[in-house]
Amino acid sequence: MDLSATLEVLRQIPYFRSLAALELRSLATDLRTRRYQADDVIFRKGDPSEGLCVVISGRVRTITTSPEGREQVLKVFGPGRTFADIAVFDDEPQPADAIAVIDSLIAFVPRATLLDLLRRHPDMAIDVIRLFASRLRAYKQVVEDLSLRPVIARVARLLADRARGTETLVEESATASPRYTQDELAAMVGSVREVVQRALKTLEHAGLVEMARGRIQIIDLEALDGWAASMSNALAPLGEQQPGARIP
């Protein structure tokens, strides 16, 4: 990616959007970048921090894995998003694994460089605090969903968020036709493939989504919101109830 394209990505990022043009160009010129293929490991839980990571192109997911090998996606980051922030600020090892979802170009901003910028630009620090607050709010929503909502409501919320560009679990541009495998969806909503498959079929039969060629086309966004808002049915078996009506 050329310098002008890198500058355009950096301007989107809360860390750097308040920097003057010359300082931003200097930062972009000095960035160390690395290319990863799909499924490549960027870092593992417990690794030391290499600095703030910036997705220049591609997509990255951070995950935690159970002793039995089951994955839970913590966050997905698209172009113009940052990750590995926590280890930069607390100077501790990485708290999760980071994996390239597709071929990706990642830039690394050294911790010393980042901290120096923050000290010299208080407005930049305020933008970073705002970013952390929004992510904390998003994690609260994810925990609430995992604890209180059935799988079908979690799937509905994820799809509705993707259509609106709400960056709860996925920090990426909005799309009404996301491309996910059922295994990927299961890892994102804290379930297993078979349950997610049944949830998608139920939503499709209800006319809310349409499955085609590895994509999930969202047909009725408002109805998806109804599923996502459901909390009273959290203990009901999948396929038994939906907000306001019985599932066909």
pLDDT tens for 8-33 read 899 889 899 889 999 999 999 889 99
Placement of tokens 């930069």 in the chain: 88
Could you tell me if residue 247 is inside a domain? no
CATH number at 196 reads 1.10.10.10
Please name which of 56, 64, 63 lies closest in space to residue 82, comparing C-alpha atoms.
56
The number of folded domains in the chain is: 2
Strands 82-83 and 32-36: unpaired
Count Cβ atoms within 10 A of the Cβ of residue 209 and give its class: 0-12 exposed, 13-18 middle, 19 or more buried.
Answer: buried
Range of the domain at 89: 3-125
Q: Is residue 12 part of a domain?
A: yes
Question: What local confidence, expressed as pLDDT, does residue 226 receive?
Answer: 86
Backbone angles phi, psi at 6, to 5 degrees: -65, -40
Residue 10 within a domain: yes
Residue 50's CB is within 10 A of a number of other CB atoms, namely 19
Q: What predicted TM-score, i.e. pTM, was given to this entire model?
A: 0.88
* Per-residue pLDDT, 41: 98
pLDDT number for residue 139: 93
User: pLDDT per residue over 35-59, tens digit each?
Assistant: 999 999 999 999 999 999 999 999 9
Q: According to the model, what pLDDT value does residue 14 have?
A: 87
164: exposed, middle or buried (Cβ count in 10 Å: 0-12, 13-18, 19+):
middle
Query: What pLDDT score does 238 carry?
Result: 43
| Residue 137: inside a domain | no
Q: Which residues of the chain are under the pLDDT cut of 70? A: 1, 230-248
CATH of the domain at 101: 2.60.120.10
DSSP calls for 192-223: -HHHHHHHHHHHHHTTSEEEETTEEEES-HHH
Two tokens, residue 240: 């038994």
Return the SS3 of 27. helix
Q: Hey, what are 66's tokens?
A: 């159970």
**CA distance linking residue 38 with residue 36, whole number of Å:** 7
pLDDT at 12: 87
Contact 75, 83 (CB under 8 A): yes
pLDDT number for residue 53: 97
- Same domain for 96 and 193? no
Q: What is the pLDDT of residue 192?
A: 94
Q: Do 100 and 175 share a domain, yes or no?
A: no
- For residue 168, the SS3 value is coil
